[in-house]
Amino acid sequence: MTGPRLWVVRHGETAWSACGRHTSRSDLPLTELGEDEALALKPLLSEQQFPLVLSSPMQRAARTAELAGFTAVTDNDLVEWDYGELEGLTTEQIRDRYPGWTIWEGPWPGGESPVQVAARADRALQRARAVGGDVLMFAHGHILRVLTARWLRRPPTDGRILILRTGAVGVLGWEHGSPAVDLWNVSPRLLRLAEA
């Protein structure tokens, strides 16, 4: 099976992403750098045709889509992993309570498990596959990493191997009929700076 590709974009930087605080339901705006990251996406993405553009309803994702030049349809399944009681904490702060903690292994007090996040990712993938053309999604780091693992027909916890920086792009496609990653963690802003 082959088919259209799925383009995924992590939102630009926020004050919490800049310092490693876990952000799911807190609706934070982009920083100035985050807006620059979003604007830098426009030249790359404007060359593509997308019959459907989806975004998490959180302002950091919706604003990234807007600055990149798109009017996106809101998809609640693209909201970030619900961190529950861990919202706003850094990994180091969480490990003070739960030694050795990772988002992939938990615990998730008051939040979502990987299986619950995967169910949302699977629904978003089902909508994307029904379109019949390339789809563009603006969302968040952990949900997009789980979604990519599911695209690859892997368990959601395999998202642990997929780093995705703010303002970065991934392209999910096909290789000889199998789902594959065409491009991953590409930051147009950083590429532009490297060329200067």
pLDDT digits (tens, 9 = 90+) for 17-41: 999 999 999 999 999 999 999 999 9
Is 80 known to be catalytic?
yes
Predicted TM-score (pTM) of the model is: 0.95
- pLDDT at position 103 over 60: yes
Average pLDDT, the chain: 95
Over residues 153-167, the pLDDT tens digits come to 999 999 999 999 999
Mean pLDDT over residues 172-192, rounded? Answer: 88
CATH label, 6-195, candidates 3.30.450.70, 3.40.50.2300, 3.40.50.450, 3.40.50.1240: 3.40.50.1240
- pLDDT at position 195 over 70: no
What phi, psi does 69 have (nearest 5°)? 100, 20
Over residues 105-120, the pLDDT tens digits come to 999 999 999 999 999 9
Over residues 122-150, the pLDDT tens digits come to 999 999 999 989 999 999 999 999 999 99
Which of 11, 22, 140, 142 is the catalytic position?
11
The one-character DSSP state at 70 is -
Which of 22, 80, 140, 142 is the catalytic position?
80
pLDDT of residue 192: 61
Domain map of the chain by residue range?
Answer: 6-195
What region, left, alpha or beta, does residue 176 occupy, with left being phi > 0 and alpha being psi -120 to 50 degrees? left
CB–CB of 11/30 below 8 Å?
yes
